[in-house]
Amino acid sequence: MKTRSKFFNRLLTAVAASVLLPGTLFAQAWVARHGLSPAEYQTEFNTHTANGYRLTSVNGYTSNGAEKYIALWEKVSGGAYVTKHSMTAAEYQTAFNTYTSQGYRPTLVSGYAVGGEAQFAAIWEKKSGGALIARHNLTAAQYQAVYDTYTAQGYRPTYISGYVVNGVEYFAGIWEVVSGGGAWVARHNLTAAQYQSAFDTYTSQGYILKRISGYNKGGTDLYAAVWEKVSTPLWSARHGITAANYQYVFDNHYYSGYRPVLLNAFASGTSSKYNGFWTNTNISSSNMAKIDNAVNSFLTSENVTGLSLAIVKDGRLVFAKGYGYANPSTGEEMSPDQPGRIMSVSKPVTAVGIMTLIQKGLLSKESFVFGRNGVLGSKYATPANKPSLNRIRVRHLLNHTSGLRSCNGESVFWDATKTPDDAMAVLLAANDLVLTDTSVNFEYSNTNYFILERIIEQVSGKKYETYIRENVLNKCGIGSTMYVGQASGNSKAGEMHYTSATKMNLQLWAGFGGWVARPIDLLKFLNRVDGAASPSDILNATTHTTMTTGSTLRPGYAFGWGISGNRQGHNGCHGSSRSNLTELGNGVSYAVIINSKPKTDECNEVLIPAIENALNQVTAYPSYNLFDNIGTGARADEFAITEEEQGFNINLDASSTNRVLAYPTVSTDGIINFSNAADVTSVTVSDMLGNKETHKAVDRIQTQLKGMLILHIETEQGKVTQKVIVE
């Protein structure tokens, strides 16, 4: 799960049953949330505990004076536990006395200031353990005295929380006598620089971060931490993450196989900052180093601002990560989240759009483009001095054998006020447009794909971007993070920024170089047009073969794709943007986007070998699939569920085989409506990760799950299983 800004009230109680992870993917084993109001936190707690998750960490803090929570739930077994938050010191003491008298042990206490008053969140668990003491509202001197007294008696800090109230730092903590524990060290009141120095020192000696708490006094961020000598898998730690960057940092960890172990937030100025510690059992340290080292070496040697990379293995998204900065002027870190310009990787998108028209029988690759019988003949007249235009067929445009020179240098393509018709008029009037007759030379040309964009609009009757979204992107599960850039050439909100910015009219560049996407989006696209059996393609086998067959003039370039054996891909290079999308032919595909012009690498001659050499050395990839949405194409192509029905009976007795019993409709906010299905008594919703929800059905339910969902529906007449898509 990703962290999303949502979340509690005062008393939360849960009796935890034994819950085991129902599958091999790590993603469903935990849920993390941050930036939650008390009411939002309560809602999240209720939802996740009802679905078998156990609260393992909660930390209160403020952001611009507002009370917030960051929390972590895990699917782990354990005894009964209780948790409370928004407690005053007196309320916390009362709760402490009550629950410890009932056999509960404190395992977490978080102090934070709200409105100039100390408040507390805590967890107590029913479990055995050694001697234990807990203290709160300790000044720095009192904390040191408690620390000295009890560590001398064999206690060690198992939880520590620093917080500032009215300019004074206080501490809350739990100390326990732990048998068999490794060596440990604790420090507090460290500045960021002192903390980093201590961190480097202790980790170099084999210690691992076990607890961290941030707090801000007089405008200075301070840290308290505990390190312990214990074995641990591959790990990553960050501190002092800004609120603006936290989601990006979190997602970098999530998409590269890490799970959170420690999450902490604290007030800093008018905002908040975050600390985290993650571990990774999905990718080995050696394989991670091969990828990281290759990318970081490229960034350094080529003086590149930022890079975003995603990797697919056998149709599964197994890795995605940002390196460097998405916007160096603001310090915004690169992550898998920010889309960037893909330049000529737009050509495969346009080519697939054309192939869908061919597959539908609305167009032929042999169709003439201009002239009396041409697709565009009625819209654009052939100039008298360019008769060879009338010999151009669709396939000539697709494989760059049309004989037309490339475009994009003309001023019309850099003018935000110009239209496609304006640009076409400029091209048709150009004396140097035609270099040769058709089928004479391979001449890579943006003009070809600008014209193909016009063909899509002419044949479909829709705007180019609309047609591509409806007939390609939606079927690949690609949402709003892939789009044609703006006519102004400015980045949209959430998009990468480019060093230095080049401001062409991306609406006019759309068909040949105007798309903006995340590497994850590009791999969703490639996944559904690569000819592999799984996941199923949006193009049939015949269409795919046609699309990936090169010309005699350039066997290595087909219809919008570079090909070599089982390889299929395309790169993109212009100004401050570089991109590449490639299926390597060994089950591995990757997409990469960078947002600044490399020092020497003109068109990925350095980047591509660096990435591919690293990927070829990776010995094992995770077995999970991090794609968040398999796409509506899966509904039509894999499960024969029509868009109108959204429900298909797949599990009835022989007498009812293939009879659709219900047609649940799904809204964008996850509400599944059964108003046209009679006598539904309960519905169990499962996603492809193994997460489950059980609902006592009325006429509709709301699910928190996304993607392709399996509905086990109980009715008064019997049971039925259906599948729906929630996007």
Domain membership of residue 526 as a residue range: 340-617
In whole angstroms, give the CA distance from residue 326 to residue 596: 10
**Whether residue 392 is found in the same domain as residue 424:** yes
Section 712-716 average pLDDT: 71
Section 292-321 average pLDDT: 98
**Residue 77, phi-psi category: left (phi > 0), alpha (psi -120 to 50), beta (remainder):** beta
Of 240, 265, 282, which one is at a domain's C-terminal end? Answer: 282
- pLDDT of residue 168 exceeding 70, the answer is yes
- Quote the pTM value: 0.84
**Whether residue 575 is found in the same domain as residue 657:** no
Of 282, 309, 332, which one is at a domain's C-terminal end? Answer: 282
DSSP, res 473:
I
pLDDT at res. 631: 39
**Which pLDDT band holds residue 666 (cuts at 50, 70, 90)?**
low
- pLDDT of residue 652 exceeding 60, the answer is no
In whole angstroms, give the CA distance from residue 656 to residue 472: 34
Of 587, 617, 647, which one is at a domain's C-terminal end? Answer: 617
Task: Let me know the angle formed at the C-alpha of 292 by 612 and 232, rounded to the nearest 5 degrees.
Answer: 130
**Whether residue 644 is found in the same domain as residue 612:** no
**Which pLDDT band holds residue 690 (cuts at 50, 70, 90)?**
low
- Residue 425 resides in a domain: yes
pLDDT at res. 501: 86
- Express each pLDDT in 205-230 by its tens digit: 999 999 999 999 999 999 999 999 99
**Whether residue 449 is found in the same domain as residue 580:** yes
In whole angstroms, give the CA distance from residue 61 to residue 70: 8
- Residue 295 resides in a domain: no
- Express each pLDDT in 555-582 by its tens digit: 999 999 999 999 999 999 999 999 999 9
- Residue 625 resides in a domain: no
Concatenate the DSSP letters of all residues of 181-246 into one string.
---EEEEEEEEHHHHHHHHHHHHHTT-EEEEEEEEEETTEEEEEEEEE----SEEEEEEEEEHHHH
**Whether residue 575 is found in the same domain as residue 485:** yes
In the block, residue with structure tokens 């938050």: 85
- Express each pLDDT in 599-651 by its tens digit: 999 999 999 999 999 999 999 999 999 986 443 332 222 233 333 333 333 33
Percent share of the chain, pLDDT over 90: 80
Section 252-279 average pLDDT: 97
**Which pLDDT band holds residue 669 (cuts at 50, 70, 90)?**
low
- Residue 643 resides in a domain: yes
Question: How many domains does the chain fold into?
Answer: 3
In whole angstroms, give the CA distance from residue 347 to residue 450: 9
Lowest mean pLDDT of 49-53, 241-245, 450-454, name the range: 49-53
**Whether residue 227 is found in the same domain as residue 347:** no
Sign of CA dihedral 352, 355, 360, 362: positive
- Residue 307 resides in a domain: no
Mean pLDDT, the chain, as a whole number?
89
pLDDT at res. 646: 35
Section 109-115 average pLDDT: 98
**Whether residue 647 is found in the same domain as residue 600:** no
**Whether residue 407 is found in the same domain as residue 476:** yes
